[in-house]
Structure 1
Amino acid sequence: MPLLPQLTQSQVALTKEVQVLDERGRVSTISIPAERPLTVYLDKRELVTLMTMGGNPEALVLGYLRNQRLVRRIDELASVQVDWEVGAAAVTSHHGIAQIEERTAKRVVTTGCGQGTVFGDLMDEVDQIHLPVDARLSQSALYRIVDTIRVHPSIYKKAGSVHGCALFSAQGDLLYFVEDVGRHNAVDAIAGKMWLDGMAGGDKVFYTTGRLTSEMVIKGAQMGIPILLSRSGTTEMGHRVAEQVGMSLFSRCTGRHFLLLTHPQRLVFQLDFAEPANEAQLVKA
């Protein structure tokens, strides 16, 4: 078990109530999700400012460092200290991070919402990723995942305007659920939680409410997860990267409908669980 960094357990309000006026002049109160800047410093070097709700800041920072390939092992880090009064996360390493200036010199702006910038060449490590070929997902487990997300308590149901990501077992058991203003923040927070818990991704399923862009697929692959689900669609590059790394992509996962775009050998069909197709279901990814 690696030595884990010391973490703060910072807490902050995730929603705010505001008054609104409707089309008939009626006043009511609604909840809206919080959005606040969190500037990340690594050994006093400013890296990035993330816009986040603030629900899982320590895990978000860890997952960001992991998914940006800036820190290879969690035991390289001594602490992550989040201070909302100044909107900062101070990350301290034990012995410094090798070649940090070189590794943060090049940024690629991607199609992410909330945070879609990656350091270095986006495709640098794709060829080195090998996902387990024997991972499987049954049709009944897929539907269990979709149903779990549908009924799970969420900020989205209360306030809207956020993305959700979740990690499931291959049997459809919910392991983590994170919401944030950007889906990249949410996936990074889950990566951070997995890192802290020493959890492998090879027998897991990842779900996101957002579209499956190339960066989302790469992050999932870096987490070792072979199966990604989305209630939205995918991009051409997301599809291409999934084919390359051996990842199964499921899009348009709503109700009993889904579209499996890549590596169909992982799906165990159970047609008794499916509803008859109709023309309305035949949509493009």
Structure 2
Amino acid sequence: MMKKLPQQDDETGEIPPVVVPVKLRELCFDGTELDRLDFLAEEVPVALVYNGISHAVMMASPADLEDFARGFSLSEGIVEQAAEIRDVEILAHEKGIELKIDLAPESFWRLKERRRTIAGRTGCGLCGLDSLEAVARDLPKVGGGMKIGLAAIEKALSALPPAQVYNAQAHALHAAAYADAQGDLLLVREDVGRHNALDKLAGAIAVARIDPASGFCLITSRCSVEMVQKAVIAGFPMLVSVSAPTRMAAKVAEEAGITLLALARADSALCLTHPHRIAL
């Protein structure tokens, strides 16, 4: 359960809004100038602290932070299941936000095994890895998964832009969403970092006790290898990206058994791996 924010000794002690209004001057190419009110996405340092040990600092949007703590812990292999996290406390400081994560004793050794120091840029998925071997992660094989019809994929893609409430204001946030086999969106998470958005989605699914194999995942960002790795660890049998994948992302998707669709549009999508889950 998320705890309420206590009173802080610093200047703020409050979580900032995800988007903030700002006054801007629009410079038109015909030489005219207009004063206007617009919105910018907030981006704050978020420190993940496990049992008192600072593990990572990521630049992220200040929303759905408990989901982020759980999803990051799962995707980074610090915990194997969400139940190993006993509590998440969110503390707002003047310089950023601290997520104090209480791990069960039996899972604390994973933190010592995988501990690293990350100064994470926005959504930087591989920052802090100390060897080439660490990039090539041992991933579980994705099995099962329902057959998903093209109409369901089209339905979910059409529903995603209106569901991006923060991006509609600031135009600077990525989204990761989960849809059921009928194409209905069940969960949507947004963040300035594409990896953060997917971590938040994985955390939300774990808390909601939704079987990830009963639907599919959609992302609005480019599909790099880290996004495929996180999707596989989260248990999604299918990943649909509106942008193009990298060659390594497609290779990892093929090896892990996940169905990868890319350049998904209202009228088409490219299927790169494991098309057996697509019901034509």
Please indicate, yes or no, whether the TM-score normalized by the shorter chain is above 0.5.
yes
The root-mean-square deviation of aligned C-alpha atoms, in Å, is 2.1
Q: Measure the CA separation in 1 of the matches of 2:235 and 2:81.
A: 15
Matched residue, 1:199: 210
Matched, 1:19 2:28: no
Q: How many pairs does the alignment contain?
A: 259
Identity of aligned residues (%): 22
Shift of 1:236: 0.5
Cα distance in 1 between the residues matched to 2:153 and 2:4: 33
Deviations 1:3-46 (A, max 9, x none): xxx32366641111111111122111101111111111101100
> C-alpha separation between the residues in 2 aligned to 1:28 and 1:150?
24
Give the secondary structure class of the aligned counterpart of 1:13: coil
SS of match in other structure, 1:194: helix
Counterpart of 1:117?
126
The secondary structure found in structure 2 opposite 1:261 is strand
**Secondary structure, counterpart of 1:124 in structure 2:** coil
Cα offsets for 1:50-88 (capped at 9, x unmatched): 111111011101100110001123232221101123521
Cα shift at 1:176:
0.6
Preserved CA contact (<8 Å) 1:21 1:27: yes
Residue among 172, 176, 193 paired with 1:161: 172
| 1:52 counterpart residue number | 60
What's 2:9 paired with? none
SS of the aligned residue for 2:71 comes to helix
Q: Which runs of 5+ in 2 are unaligned?
A: 6-14
Partner in structure 1 of residue 71 of structure 2: 63
Conserved in 1, the CA contact under 8 Å of 2:56 and 2:117? no
Distance 1:48 1:236 in 2: 28
Higher mean alpha-carbon deviation, 57-66 vs 20-29, is at 20-29
* 1:189 CA displacement: 0.6
Q: Is residue 175–residue 194 contact of structure 2 (8 Å, CA) maintained in 1?
A: yes
Gaps of 5+ in 1: 1-5, 270-285
1:211 aligns to 2:211 (yes or no): no
Structure 1 residue matching 2:49: 3-state secondary structure: strand
CA distance 1:175–1:92, shift in 2 (3 Å): same
Q: CA deviation at 1:94?
A: 3.2
